[in-house]
Structure 1
Amino acid sequence: MVKQLSFLISIVFLSSCGGDESKEDQLNIACAANMEVAIDSICKVFEQEQNIKCQVNSGASGMLYTQINQGAPFDVFVAADDTYPMMLFNDNLCEKPEVYAKGQLVLVIKNVGRIRSVEEVLLSDEVQKIGIPDSSVAPYGKAAMEALASLKLDELINDKIVWAESVGQVNQFYETHAVDAIFTSYSFVKTPGNNFNHLLIADSLYQPIQQSACVIKKENTQNESAQAFQSFILSEKSQNILLHFGYKMN
């Protein structure tokens, strides 16, 4: 009986050691909400090739920036623009950011008959609620407001706007029929299984959405796993995945 007990204790000890080892091979990734589906595919390939697990936490880029700035234990920041990573870089909190893709803004609409133009859709009586990610923290929300200003529609539809905290939340608004239309990332339309009425917004109506990634600096250590992921997201394999989900390459 004593021998059996000693054997069981040995197994538990070895298992706990193995758990510590696996933690060393896990990356904590702060990921912009628009990239949630694409990053899942990228991580699966990365994990198979590098044997490094990825733990992804998604949200609005501005919210993730604040968390990183306050010491949240992330290894990599995959943002929806280049502004927030550069702010971290200027504060010496990350390695130099690199652009991995260019985002596309899209208007997704419920079935309102024949779609002619953005203006006609947004001013229609059938569209009473328009979801937009919070422009103060979500780059796609900022781009949406720039596009509306370019079209001189921002004041005309102001009463119809329903703010969401991120691209992820605005997508949920649409899927649960809480709104009639949303401005979001083209990746939402390109996600397998989604078949939505949509209009791509002309690039000329908003500032380019240069999506950047960076490795978060760790005190007195060099995060080789994070460096490996940064290189991988810029690789041809990742670029092909991103193209599949509606992103452009620079």
Structure 2
Amino acid sequence: MTHLLRRCAVLLGLLALVACGKSEPAPQIAAAADLRLALTDAAAAFEKETGEKVVLNFGASGNLTRQLQQGAPFELFLSADESYVTQLAKAGKTRDEGRLYAIGRLALIAPKGSPLRLDSQLAGLREGLARGDISRFAIANPEHAPYGRRAQEALDHAGLWKPLQDKLVLGENVSQALQFATEGGAQGSIVAHSLVLDPAVKGKAAYVLIPADWHTPLRQRMVLMKTAGPVAERFYAYLAEPAAKAIFAKYGFTLPAGAL
């Protein structure tokens, strides 16, 4: 009997250890679509270093902000436009005003076989429109996607926004705009530089960078929500460390001086 009781005590102890060691659900992270590659790599590096996982949810920053305003259970938000973080902070949804983590760039792309001639001043796009070679041109929807708004500003700077009106194909986010150009029949697109560095894109399209002074800077800010737990806090801190900064730089982001 004593032996049986001892075995039961050991079993109960093991069960208690398992229960105590049971991990919390991985935190949900909301992130701008331009971060699909960079943040996926950063999350993998974080997991390798700490053993902790995060769940990434990508979308247009405006749409994600609306979801957060309505109570979506994201614990950390990485926006492509810092104004959305400011909105959430003023609404009392965040811990603070967060921190700037990167500055993005726009790229003009032409899929393989496109008649669009690439150049940073968009002269080739102007020529293609004049010849009637451009029937579909993709950007993210400016109403809720920061990269779409900046694309509109750049096109307006070049005097091409109005001529392109009946040719525009609007993606729900910048990642979808890229898909329209590489797989959806558009002759060109303005997208995030970070996304065209994907090896899968390199064989499908070529690109040039658009001058940064043609549009409002893409100042990208991240912030912890008030509901953030310890794993989200550690991931937020990790994104300020040299290893994460190197990943952002790898995908073409400028690292703001003194911001991380």
What TM-score do the two structures reach when normalised by structure 1? Answer: 0.87
**How many angstroms does 1:198 deviate by?**
1.2
Describe the shift of the 1:19–1:131 C-alpha distance in structure 2 as closer, same or farther (beyond 3 A): farther
Q: Which has the larger radius of gyration?
A: 2
**How many angstroms does 1:192 deviate by?**
2.2
Matches for 1:127-138 after TM superposition, within 5 Å = 127-138=134-145
Alignment correspondent of 2:70: 70
Point out the more displaced range, 107-116 or 190-199. 107-116
Alignment correspondent of 1:119: 123
- Count how many residue pairs are aligned between Structure 1 and Structure 2: 236
Q: Deviations over 1:54-88 (max 9, x none)?
A: 11111100000011110111110011110111111
Matches for 1:26-65 after TM superposition, within 5 Å = 26-65=26-65
**Pairing 1:163–2:170 present:** yes
**How many angstroms does 1:154 deviate by?**
0.9
Q: Which amino acid aligns with 1:203?
A: A
Q: Matches of 1:227 and 1:114 in 2, distance apart?
A: 46
Describe the shift of the 1:70–1:191 C-alpha distance in structure 2 as closer, same or farther (beyond 3 A): same
Q: Matches of 2:159 and 2:126 in 1, distance apart?
A: 12
Q: Matches of 2:150 and 2:239 in 1, distance apart?
A: 24
Q: Which amino acid aligns with 2:173?
A: S
Matches for 1:10-21 after TM superposition, within 5 Å = 21=22
Q: Matches of 2:20 and 2:145 in 1, distance apart?
A: 36
Which of 185, 194, 206 is equivalent to 1:197? Answer: 206
**How many angstroms does 1:230 deviate by?**
1.2
Q: Deviations over 1:148-205 (max 9, x none)?
A: 1111211111111111110121122122133111111001221123222212110110
Alignment correspondent of 2:87: 87
Q: Which amino acid aligns with 2:67?
A: Q
Say whether the 8 Å CA contact 2:135–2:187 is kept in structure 1.
Answer: yes
Say whether the 8 Å CA contact 1:75–1:215 is kept in structure 2.
Answer: yes
Q: Matches of 1:205 and 1:165 in 2, distance apart?
A: 23
Alignment correspondent of 2:220: 211
SS in 2 for 1:53: coil
SS in 1 for 2:191: strand
- Report the aligned-residue RMSD: 2.4
Q: Matches of 2:124 and 2:73 in 1, distance apart?
A: 46
Q: Give percent identity, aligned residues only.
A: 28
**How many angstroms does 1:224 deviate by?**
2.2
Describe the shift of the 1:19–1:209 C-alpha distance in structure 2 as closer, same or farther (beyond 3 A): farther
**Pairing 1:239–2:240 present:** no
Alignment correspondent of 2:102: 101
Describe the shift of the 1:18–1:64 C-alpha distance in structure 2 as closer, same or farther (beyond 3 A): farther
Say whether the 8 Å CA contact 1:30–1:58 is kept in structure 2.
Answer: yes
**How many angstroms does 1:19 deviate by?**
11
Gaps of at least 5 residues in structure 2 are 1-7
Q: Matches of 1:53 and 1:122 in 2, distance apart?
A: 47
Gaps of at least 5 residues in structure 1 are 1-6
Q: Matches of 1:20 and 1:148 in 2, distance apart?
A: 55
